[in-house]
Amino acid sequence: MPPLPVIDVSSLRDGPPPSDLARRIDEACRSTGFFYVVGHGIDPQLGADLDRQARQFFALDEAEKSTIAMARGGRAWRGWFPLDGELTSGVPDRKEGLYFGQELGPEDPRVAAGMPLHGPNLFPVRPPELRQTVLDHMAAVTELGHRLVAAIAVALGLDESWFDRHLTADPLVLFRIFHYPPMPDGDEGWSVGEHTDYGLITILAQDASGGLEVRGPEGWIAAPPVPDSFVVNLGDMLERMTGGRYRSTPHRVRNTSGVDRLSFPLFFDPAWDAEVRPVPSASIRSGSRRDDSADRWDGRSVHDWTGTYGSYLLSKVGRVFPDLGAEVLADRAAAHEPGDRPTPR
């Protein structure tokens, strides 16, 4: 068994989150900020199809993959990026990937307004079935996300509908497929370096090769694959909203399995224009936040920021893809759109 909690969430399919489940989730969120969920009800065949079709795509030559390169996705930030094409803390990751999001046409008012990270997806010609599989997977895991944040709300002493009423009635949903080639012998680098996620929760499916590591209270621990499970971890906004009671935990990946590794994270986050404030929970002591900048991978405390989630996300993603980020940030500046507003200390 892995050192992280494995939580059966089958009861979430039958009604309100029971108190014993909320207690287990609260314990996991306060300790490592990572846990596995089983009993989620998502057909394992969907995951198997997604894995198989993704491998078919990544086996194509670069010329064919580049027909859906991210540069073609514009402000929507969708499509394929090559090996070393994404940065973590300024260092290229040893992975390639596909970026997807909610499928939005030009008639959507957010797309018409040029809102970043909103728009149509770029799907490859081959394999043709990948498009529908991705959309089906996103729909199923997004529904799981709504059930999980309901349980987290109860764990915080809130009404189960609190997140959906205030932040996630129309969540920002982003989905990635990452391909990690095996690290060469003697290479001490990382497939993806230490980082935290930005939003509320990440719901991750991973293949059987392993390589994910989580920074626990006593040091780095492995998060090996568990059959028919998802790994759930908390993002920066949940740590901010709870004053540090819940943890947005650094994690990293090194693929030393000798085979190609695939992972499938879905980011279930606040709405783009949602202003992220502390939760009104009796379990969160007023003024309990601490300066955590020394403990964070980028040296920046999530508590020293205020604004909409979209502003926070754009500032972070712009550092992952500097060229695309510079273009979109320049457009925002020209339009006088607000950005991050650090709180004076």
Nearest of 76, 316, 343 to residue 198 by alpha carbon: 316
Torsion on CA atoms 202, 174, 308, 232, rounded to nearest 10: -10
Res 217: pLDDT: 83
Coil, helix or strand for 282?
coil
| 135-146 average pLDDT score | 98
How confident is the model over 325-344, as a mean pLDDT? Answer: 49
- Domain architecture of the chain: domains with CATH: 6-304 (2.60.120.330)
Mean pLDDT value across residues 215-237: 95
Q: What residues does 202 pair with on adjacent strands?
A: 233, 267
Measure the CA–CA gap between 77 and 100, rounded to whole angstroms.
Answer: 8
Examine residue 127 and say whether the peptide bond preceding it is cis (omega within 30 degrees of 0): yes
pLDDT at 334 > cutoff 70: no
Q: What is the pTM of this model?
A: 0.91
pLDDT at residue 84, rounded to an integer: 86
Least confident of 84-88, 150-154, 299-303, 332-336: 332-336
Strands 219-222 and 212-216: antiparallel
**27-77 residue pLDDT tens:** 999 999 999 999 999 999 999 999 999 999 999 999 999 999 998 998 898
CA–chain centroid gap for 189, Å, is 22
Is a pLDDT exceeding 60 seen at residue 332? Answer: no
Q: What is the mean pLDDT of residues 100-104?
A: 97
Supply the pLDDT for residue 314. 85
* CA 23 – CA 155 distance, rounded (Å): 6
Is the pLDDT at 82 greater than 50? The verdict is yes
Residue 187: Cβ within 10 Å count? 12
Q: For residues 42 and 137, give the distance between their C-alpha atoms in angstroms, rounded to a whole number.
A: 9
Predicted local confidence at residue 287, as pLDDT: 44
- Give CA–CA dist 129/179, Å, rounded: 19
Read off the DSSP letter of residue 183: P
Do 211 and 254 meet the contact criterion of CB atoms below 8 Å apart?
yes
Give the single-character DSSP code of 218: T
Whole-angstrom distance, CA of residue 260 vs CA of residue 171: 32
Q: What percent of the chain has pLDDT over 70?
A: 88
pLDDT range class, residue 343, cuts 50, 70, 90 = very low
Per-residue confidence at 341, pLDDT binned at 50, 70, 90?
very low
In this predicted structure, what is the pLDDT of residue 315?
Answer: 80
Task: State residue 339's pLDDT score.
Answer: 43
Beta-ladder partners of 99 = 79, 176
